[in-house]
Amino acid sequence: MSGTILYVYGIGREILSETLPEDLEAIDGTTRIDVISDAGLSAACTPVDEDEFGAAAVEKNSGNLEWLGELGVRHDAVVTALSEMTTIIPLRAFTLFGSVERLQKMLRRDRAALAATLDRLAGNEEWTVRIELDPESWTKAITHRVESLRTLNDEMESASPGRGYLLARKLEEARKSAAQEAEQSLVAELESAFARDLGGPVITETRQMREGSFPQINLLLPRGSENRLASVVADIQRALAGDGVTLRMTGPWPPYTFAAGELDG
Amino acid sequence: MDDERDLSLLETLDHLLDRGVVIAGEATISIADVDLLYLGLNVVLANVDALTRAHSRHLTPTKNERLPGTEK
């Protein structure tokens, strides 16, 4: 059975719908963005047709980048506009509630945790540093980063041609098994460097967490930290020169990563 | 440049959809359906990483993208 459900963008203490840009596109292409309030909190949302945004639609369009892209741009535009007005907890795309009553019930039930999160996010924005690895250079660099490989490499270089060949094959195998360990160690090293040089919360996503995509480090930083971050990134990048590691920073983002899990349960 | 626009869009989706969809209260969709969405997106994102790597030396940073050491 289809019906109307609520697509929720974000939660704040005081969201005023009348101060949103009039032509701001809602998730469904209309300009209707409602504010539902309870327990001193407000949620910005749009009533949508379950046929278009419910489970079946999501499943049907899961690989449709055009559909996802259009909705993603609208969602992010609304969240960004809200963030410019006030501190909000930005919600991930497709955060849906079955009714106004259910949304209000959640605001009442979780008001303490939501208020604490709003305090934590106030004045901050999210930056992401992706760690891109060039396979060839990084594989060579691993040899120098992992002690057992370094020893094997030294041994190979001073060995006779026959033994050297066998050691080269052994080194190749050892490199493969050490690759994951070396990447994890690099990511941990970078995480510590960012935490030390910038302070503030850090959330790291490993390659395993990202289903095979490059690992990345998310940082919650006070607004206006872009040049400070760029300088730290450049320093770290210089120190890794020749290792095949490229750091790519993106942002500022509404703090999606640091608000994640807020409504779980 | 189309590549740049696509990358920017995918960066946005990466943030919006990463770790799947928040299921709130008595929401009307189930986690299983959401997982499908997440997995589908990751396939796309994995390809984008390869694209990013291939073009990393030629890309002009877009609104949300900067290479280290490039000041505004």
- Average pLDDT over every residue of B10-34: 48
Residue B54 sits at the chain A interface (C-beta within 8 Å): no
pLDDT of B54 strictly over 70? no
Inter-chain CB proximity B46 and A212 less than 8 Å: yes
Inter-chain CB proximity B71 and A54 less than 8 Å: no
Question: Chain A contacts of B21, Cβ < 8 Å?
Answer: 58, 92-95
- Average pLDDT over every residue of A128-154: 84
pLDDT at A203: 92
pLDDT at A146: 80
Helix (H) or strand (E) holding A219: strand A216-222
Q: pTM for the complete prediction?
A: 0.77
Q: Please, what sign has the CA dihedral across residues A234, A240, A241, A247? A: negative
Inter-chain CB proximity A96 and B29 less than 8 Å: yes
Inter-chain CB proximity B37 and A59 less than 8 Å: yes
DSSP string for residues in A117-173: HHHHHTTEEEEEEEEEE-HHHHHHHHHHHSHHHHHHHHHHHTS-HHHHHHHHHHHHH
Beta-carbon contacts of A251 under 8 Å, excluding residues fewer than 6 positions away, are A125, A126, A127, A128, A226, B64
Tell me if B34 sits within 8 A of B21, measured CB to CB.
yes
pLDDT at A28: 95
Which of these, A48, A19, A53, lies nearest to A32 by C-alpha position? A48
Encode pLDDT of A10-52 as tens digits: 999 988 877 888 899 999 999 999 999 999 999 999 999 988 8
Question: Chain B contacts of A98, Cβ < 8 Å?
Answer: 25-28
pLDDT confidence tier of residue A225, bands split at 50, 70 and 90:
very high
Question: Chain A contacts of B17, Cβ < 8 Å?
Answer: 68, 72, 92-94
Inter-chain CB proximity A95 and B24 less than 8 Å: yes
Encode pLDDT of A155-185 as tens digits: 888 888 888 888 888 888 887 778 888 888 8
pLDDT at A263: 53
ipTM: 0.75
Residue B44 sits at the chain A interface (C-beta within 8 Å): yes
Inter-chain CB proximity A213 and B41 less than 8 Å: no
pLDDT of B29 strictly over 60? no
pLDDT at B7: 62
Residue B34 sits at the chain A interface (C-beta within 8 Å): yes
Inter-chain CB proximity A68 and B41 less than 8 Å: yes
| Segment among A101-110, A130-139, A158-167, B32-41 with least mean pLDDT | B32-41
Nearest-CA distance A153 → chain B (Å): 28
Residue A214 sits at the chain B interface (C-beta within 8 Å): yes
Residue B53 sits at the chain A interface (C-beta within 8 Å): yes
pLDDT at B26: 33
pLDDT of A235 strictly over 70? yes
- Average pLDDT over every residue of A53-64: 72
Average pLDDT, chain A: 87
* Paired strand residues for A109: none
Interface of A with B in 25-64 (CB under 8 A): 50, 54-55, 58-59, 62-63
What span, in angstroms and rounded, lies between the C-alpha atoms of A217 and A191?
Answer: 7
Most A CBs within 10 A among B8, B11, B14, hence the mutation to make, goes to: B14
pLDDT at B3: 53
Amino acid at A148: S
